[in-house]
Amino acid sequence: MPAMTEALLKVSLNHYLVLSAILFTLGMLGVLLRKNVIVILMSIELMLNAVNITFIAFSRYSGNIDGQVMVFFVMTIAAAEAAVGLALAVLIFKRFKEVNIRYFEHLRG
């Protein structure tokens, strides 16, 4: 147990930053690689949440409360974004009967 506490106590800002970076990269990779529209939307949410971790980490380690307020803003916006995104996804699905983004390549050149 103490070892664990020790480990936890040793967790520094950098750990959080690395975590958020990993999450962010995972989100990015999801956007880059997944073909399903819904999964892509989720990956974007993942990216935003990774950022939230960063905010909170910075806020926590600097003792500045602003960062945590910002997370609320971000969450609100993420929600709005999700709403719009899903609406668009539904629209797309209705039109194309498909959620694979490779089907939307009419605009090119």
Contact residues toward other proteins (CB under 8 A) are 13, 20, 24, 27-28, 31-33, 37, 40-41, 44, 47-48, 50-51, 54-55, 57-58, 62, 64, 66-67, 70, 73-74, 77, 80-81, 84-85, 87-89, 91-92, 95-96, 101-102, 104-109
CA dihedral (37, 38, 44, 46) in degrees, to 10, reads -150
Nearer to other proteins, 5 or 97 (CB): 97
Task: Please report which residue ranges of 1-109 form alpha helices under DSSP H.
Answer: 2-10, 13-33, 37-62, 66-96
Distance CA 66, CA 29 (A): 30
Q: Considering the complex, what minimum distance in angstroms separates the CB of residue 84 from other proteins?
A: 5
